[in-house]
């Protein structure tokens, strides 16, 4: 006869989770200390909600569910094979996790079914609280202690079968369950992810400087991208997968079987120029039920400008010239930078014309800097 833990694992896998592991609801004190250190050192600057108080809550499950006894840590693969676009137009890159439907919604539905089904599975009333990267719960700490995976030097959780291409979620429960054993694995001497990060965001093994991470810059940052970092972003317009793509653990990973993570439209490598023409309504329609909505239209168009500047295709100049008339100063600023990066006589003419009607100091400054860059 199956024990409770075996029934829980079997039920989770019936719902499509690839991994189901269990740990206690004891505090994650080492993870709390590491996270508070990052906050105090300014490495989480730009995320106003990431405070010491939040760190404390996220590492003390009993504050999230007073009756907490155990945490069920679940993982589901989102890796999908590449479907490269072939027509010759300027294209950007979107992080693999955002190719399909919004994972928060997909997994939250599964977690609700999992949580409600637990009572039937074990035939007794229980209390639970669920998380899928949407609340104060340290998901990676739970995943590591439950043996679902281990910490990579890029701070991602690495799993034996699915690499780091996994979404993590948790169910905190008042059930007293037997804990699984953490994996005795690490990355050894490998530092490929550190060496290959173009912005140098992995400042030490297991330490990310949030302010330099391309994912932060293209998703969470609401203002201007620092000028010195723009060339390093390349053609990424939402997130970044570089530290995962180069990781040896991620070689020969099977594709996810979850159909809702299939690529939508051309989300892997979107044609960039048409994105500059989106208004708020068309942006919401195109990215309906997509994680990409998080960056908002202004953020995406800012990122598109940077990518077009780095690609350097002169075919983008007419669209960028129109973008200099955008109602948003952040978008205009980055359009001016992109035009300057593309360079040439046409770019000089566009920027000089823009100077005649631009009244926003930060945009005017960018136009003048870009003109200087071209002429030098």
DSSP β-bridge partners for residue 93: 236
At which of 138, 173, 208 does a domain end? 173
CA 352 and chain centroid, separation:
37
At which of 124, 142, 173 does a domain end? 173
Q: Is 343 in contact with 374 (CB distance < 8 Å)? A: yes
Asked, for residue 57, whether it belongs to a domain, the answer is yes
Asked, for residue 148, whether it belongs to a domain, the answer is yes
C-alpha–C-alpha distance, residues 71 and 61, integer Å:
8
Asked, for residue 93, whether it belongs to a domain, the answer is no
Predicted confidence (pLDDT) per residue in 235-261, tens digit: 999 999 999 999 999 998 888 999 999
pTM: 0.94
| DSSP code of residue 220 | I
b/e map of 42-65 (b: 16 or more CB within 10 Å)?
A: ebbebeeebeeeebebbbbbeebb
Task: Looking at the structure, tell me whether residues 158 and 276 fall in a common domain.
Answer: no
C-alpha–C-alpha distance, residues 304 and 307, integer Å:
5
C-alpha–C-alpha distance, residues 299 and 68, integer Å:
39
Give me the number of domains the chain comprises: 2
Asked, for residue 365, whether it belongs to a domain, the answer is yes
Asked, for residue 207, whether it belongs to a domain, the answer is no
Question: Which of 107, 73, 75, 76 has its CA nearest to residue 177?
Answer: 73
Per-residue confidence at 1, pLDDT binned at 50, 70, 90? very low
Provide the residue range defining the domain that includes 10. 4-78+101-173
What's the whole-number average pLDDT of the chain? 95
Q: Is 238 in contact with 152 (CB distance < 8 Å)? A: no
With tokens 């991208």, the residue in question is 225
- 259 burial type by CB count under 10 A (0-12 exposed, 13-18 middle, 19+ buried): exposed
Predicted confidence (pLDDT) per residue in 52-91, tens digit: 999 999 999 999 999 999 999 999 999 998 877 667 899 9
Task: Looking at the structure, tell me whether residues 160 and 17 fall in a common domain.
Answer: yes
Per-residue confidence at 364, pLDDT binned at 50, 70, 90? very high
Asked, for residue 33, whether it belongs to a domain, the answer is yes
Per-residue confidence at 265, pLDDT binned at 50, 70, 90? confident
Report the pLDDT value the prediction gives residue 134, as an integer from 0 to 100.
Answer: 86
CA 181 and chain centroid, separation:
28
Asked about 280 being catalytic, the answer comes back as no
CATH of the domain at 346: 1.25.10.10
Task: Give the DSSP per-residue string, 199-224.
Answer: T--EEETTEE-GGG-HHIIIII--SP
At which of 173, 200, 220 does a domain end? 173
Beta-strand pair 93-94/236-238: parallel
Percent of residues, the chain, with pLDDT higher than 70: 99
Tally DSSP H helices, then E strands, for the chain: 16, 10
* Three-class secondary structure of residue 66 per DSSP: coil
Question: Which of 153, 122, 160, 152 has its CA nearest to residue 21?
Answer: 160
Neighbouring CB atoms inside 10 A of 323's CB total 24
C-alpha–C-alpha distance, residues 283 and 314, integer Å:
25
Q: Which of 45, 133, 174, 328 is catalytic?
A: 133
C-alpha–C-alpha distance, residues 234 and 304, integer Å:
10
* Three-class secondary structure of residue 51 per DSSP: coil
Write down how long the chain is.
376
* Three-class secondary structure of residue 336 per DSSP: helix
Beta-strand pair 70-77/150-151: unpaired
Task: Looking at the structure, tell me whether residues 279 and 144 fall in a common domain.
Answer: no
Question: Which of 280, 303, 301, 300 has its CA nearest to residue 292?
Answer: 300
Report the pLDDT value the prediction gives residue 86, as an integer from 0 to 100.
Answer: 67
Task: Looking at the structure, tell me whether residues 153 and 293 fall in a common domain.
Answer: no
Alpha carbon of 107 to those of 46, 115, 187, 243, 289: distances in Å?
27, 12, 29, 24, 13
Q: Is 91 in contact with 179 (CB distance < 8 Å)? A: no
Mean pLDDT across the stretch 100-120?
A: 94
Asked, for residue 327, whether it belongs to a domain, the answer is yes
């Amino acid at each position: 006869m199956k024990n409770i833990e075996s029934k829980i694992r079997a039920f989770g896998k019936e719902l499509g989770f690839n991994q189901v592991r269990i740990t206690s609801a004891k505090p994650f004190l080492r993870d709390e200390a590491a996270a508070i250190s990052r906050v105090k050192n300014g490495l989480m600057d730009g995320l106003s909600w990431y405070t010491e108080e939040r760190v404390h809550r996220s590492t003390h499950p009993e504050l999230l569910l007073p009756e907490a006894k155990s945490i069920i840590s679940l993982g589901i693969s989102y890796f999908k094979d590449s479907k490269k676009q072939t027509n010759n137009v300027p294209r950007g890159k979107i992080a693999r996790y955002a190719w399909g439907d919004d994972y928060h919604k997909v997994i939250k539905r599964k977690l609700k079914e999992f949580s409600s089904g637990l009572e039937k599975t074990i035939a007794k009333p229980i209390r639970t609280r669920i998380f899928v990267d949407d609340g104060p719960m340290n998901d990676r700490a739970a995943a590591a202690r439950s043996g679902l995976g281990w910490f990579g030097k890029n701070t991602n959780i690495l799993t034996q079968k699915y690499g780091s291409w996994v979404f993590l979620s948790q169910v905190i429960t008042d059930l007293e369950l037997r804990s699984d054993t953490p994996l005795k694995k690490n990355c050894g001497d490998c530092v490929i992810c550190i060496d290959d990060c173009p912005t140098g965001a992995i400042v030490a093994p297991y330490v990310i400087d949030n302010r330099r991470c391309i994912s932060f810059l293209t998703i969470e940052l609401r203002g201007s991208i620092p000028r010195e970092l723009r060339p390093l972003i390349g053609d990424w317009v939402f997130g970044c997968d570089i530290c995962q793509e180069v990781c040896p653990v991620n070689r020969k990973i099977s594709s996810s079987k979850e159909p809702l993570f299939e690529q939508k439209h051309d989300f892997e490598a979107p044609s960039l120029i048409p994105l500059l023409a989106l208004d708020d309504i068309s942006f919401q329609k195109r990215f309906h039920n997509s994680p990409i909505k998080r960056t908002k239209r202004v953020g995406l168009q800012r990122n598109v400008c940077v990518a077009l500047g780095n690609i350097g295709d002169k075919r983008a100049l007419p669209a960028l010239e129109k973008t200099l008339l955008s109602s948003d100063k952040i978008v205009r600023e980055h359009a001016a930078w992109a035009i300057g990066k593309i360079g040439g006589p046409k770019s000089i003419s566009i920027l000089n014309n823009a100077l005649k009607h631009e009244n926003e100091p930060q945009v005017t400054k960018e136009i003048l800097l870009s003109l200087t860059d071209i002429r030098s």
